[in-house]
Copies of this chain bind each other. A is one copy, B any other.
Amino acid sequence: MAEKEISQAVIGRLPRYFRYLGELKDQGVERISSQELSGIMNVTASQIRQDFNNFGGFGQQGYGYNVEYLYQEIGRILGLDKTHHLIIVGAGNLGQALANYMNFARRGFIFTGIFDVNPVICGRKIRGIEVRPMEEMPEFVRRNNVDIAVLTIPKSEAIRVAGQLAAVGIKAIWNFAHVDLEVPDTVQVENVHLSDSLMKLSYMLESYEQENGLAQQRR
């Protein structure tokens, strides 16, 4: 068990801190106070200090945080100082887009393999990596020390395949299938439910229009 449980909300904010600190670092900023960071990130300074206190506070002195140090430390907490081997399961449009999109490599996520059930797609190369048939996945995962699987297959198959991934020792699933997976607690799951996200946007749009008397008629 965790010595201290970090809330999901805090965890969810860490990548954003990391992103802003990376930009500050690239701009040559050496120190920054929680006040200044607050102004840039549109979060209160007290929120920032509270969040950082979960990890020991990163030693802000009167003159602020050391940007480079803070960036490195948050990166370390995020596990970005490690190398992860990642496969994509499902070489459809989204799987291919993610494979190509992967400048994730500079964060230590190495795109190692891609799999599909469709024999027409198998053998094709994406970013220099051949699409392999699903049957080869278990052996491939074991041989290549793969720890993360990106799941970009239809939801009808996702639960079954997630179970299979768990069984062959995958440690984390980045799930784009539009279904909640059922895997053992030993496997970490992060969902990207794109439809849910678009519906949330639709809600915000609708509710803004309702509040402002702009609601359209059904067209």
Contacts and interface: CB of A to CB of B under 8 A. Distances in A.
Interface of A: 1-3, 6, 11-12, 14-16, 18-19, 42, 77-84, 93-94, 96-98, 100-101, 104, 107, 109, 147-148, 171-172, 174, 178, 180, 186, 188-190, 192-209, 211, 216, 218-219
Nearest to A193: B15
A202 B150 CA distance: 12
Contacts of A15: 193, 195-197, 199-200
A41 to B, nearest CB: 8
Contact of A78 (B18, B189, B202, B219): B202
A205 B14 contact: no
A14 B203 contact: yes
A45 to B, nearest CB: 18
Contacts of A205: 79, 84, 147-148, 171-172, 188
A95 to B, nearest CB: 8
A16 to B, nearest CB: 6
Contact of A174 (B84, B174, B198, B211): B198
Contact of A202 (B80, B200, B203, B208): B80
Nearest to A208: B188
11 contacts: A3-B211, A11-B204, A14-B200, A16-B180, A78-B206, A79-B205, A94-B97, A96-B97, A171-B209, A174-B198, A174-B201
Contacts of A109: 198, 202
Q: Pick from A193, A201, A207 the residue with the most CB of B within 10 Å.
A: A201
Closest 5 pairs between A and B when the two form their complex, measured CB to CB: A79-B206, A97-B97, A15-B196, A190-B201, A15-B199
B197 A174 contact: yes
A93 B84 contact: no
B197 A14 contact: no
A204 B219 contact: no
